[in-house]
A = this chain, B = another copy of it.
């Protein structure tokens, strides 16, 4: 997240507060303190607390999507594609642990709020993009046959789960050290049996 504009400073401050006190535990006053903006400024830029949360969420998922997009450009096999989904995610989480923790825990909230439709739209595009990238391989029968939503969970589920635990300080192993293992497992789990 660039550290340039006032808006970004506020978002940065909000994220730090969310990390320390939780989203519900963070008050506007706390964000104001840390961002050194005024309350008026906060409301001028975002309108209300919910929209600060949504903006931070959407920016986070956009970053991961961009990372993925960049990867797709240099990817030319089913295996590389599947592994890319995992490694991009791991890389993003390791590079932005606070942001990742926030995103992982706030989805339901944003989804239920006034910006929910925006999120859902972004999500549809995200999935759409991934399926486009994979559809050719799928038609070639390179993947096990399973429902699309199940397919997604099988690929990314172990990574999500481990990332959650790592971010909560519950693992002995570092997330970065599992990068290849998780990618390999993902590939083996979805590839069609020879």
Binding site for B on A (CB under 8 A): 22, 24, 105, 107-109, 111-112, 146-150, 152-154, 156-162, 165, 168, 170-173, 177-178, 181-182, 185, 188-189
8 contacts between A and B (CB under 8 A): A147-B173, A149-B171, A153-B161, A154-B158, A156-B161, A157-B162, A158-B189, A160-B160
Oligomer: number of copies: 4
List 13 additional A-B contacts (Cβ < 8 Å) besides A111-B168, A149-B173, A160-B160.
Answer: A149-B162, A149-B171, A150-B158, A150-B162, A150-B181, A152-B161, A153-B162, A154-B185, A156-B161, A157-B162, A161-B161, A188-B188, A188-B189
Distance to closest chain B CB from A9 (angstroms): 24
Residues of B within 8 A of A109 (CB): 22
